[in-house]
Amino acid sequence: MKPVHVPGVGDRLWQRIPADTRQIVTVYGDGENSPDSTLVLYEKRGTTWQRGGSWPAHNGKRGWTTDHHEGDERTPVGVYTLSDAGGLLDDPGTRLPYTQDEDAFASPYYWDEAHWHDFDYVIAIDYNRRRGARPDDPTRPQGQSKGGGIWLHLDHGDGTLGCVSVPETAMEYLLRTLNPKDKPVVVMGDRAKLKL
């Protein structure tokens, strides 16, 4: 029997979710050109998906795209695995492979102070990256022009360059809850595209 769908996710994206996935981070964008969204964690119990937590979030400054390119300031729509984490701070107790590195995850000194803690914690979204590598690994299997370095990270109060950002409490919860044995994925996009 096919499990109940996660609310707001249509057949097109649902079919891309691996059958053995038991954790889905869903990012519901407010609109195609909006930086505002809501992140909800769902976990599979039996044949149904139960809502875990929900938090306000931000995505790309210019919204969402199905054809992401370096520098477009949009977040790629799709289904992506979540396999690696890291940050400036010590591992908060995640089961994901975690890289703590003050140099690699430090925000550039010339960034506005509001962004200095963006990468205290990150979870790599496996868009145009090599799974199993550190989140900051520069490898881009589809080429540099398709962009990369798309992460879940701490929120700074407005849109991102393509990542999804959430409050620190949400990042800590996700890091402690996501489990590689549950094959976690993120399903993300503006609400209209998610429903297709």
Active site members:
153, 163
Chain position carrying tokens 């949009």:
74
- Strand-pair category, 36-45 with 23-29: antiparallel
- For residues 165 and 154, is the Cβ–Cβ distance under 8 A? yes
Query: What is the 3 state secondary structure string of 149-186?
Result: CCEEEECCCCCECCCEEECHHHHHHHHHHCCHHHCCEE
Longest alpha-carbon distance in the chain: 54
In the chain, DSSP assigns E strands to: 23-29, 36-45, 48-58, 64-65, 75-76, 78-87, 98-100, 122-125, 151-154, 164-166, 185-190
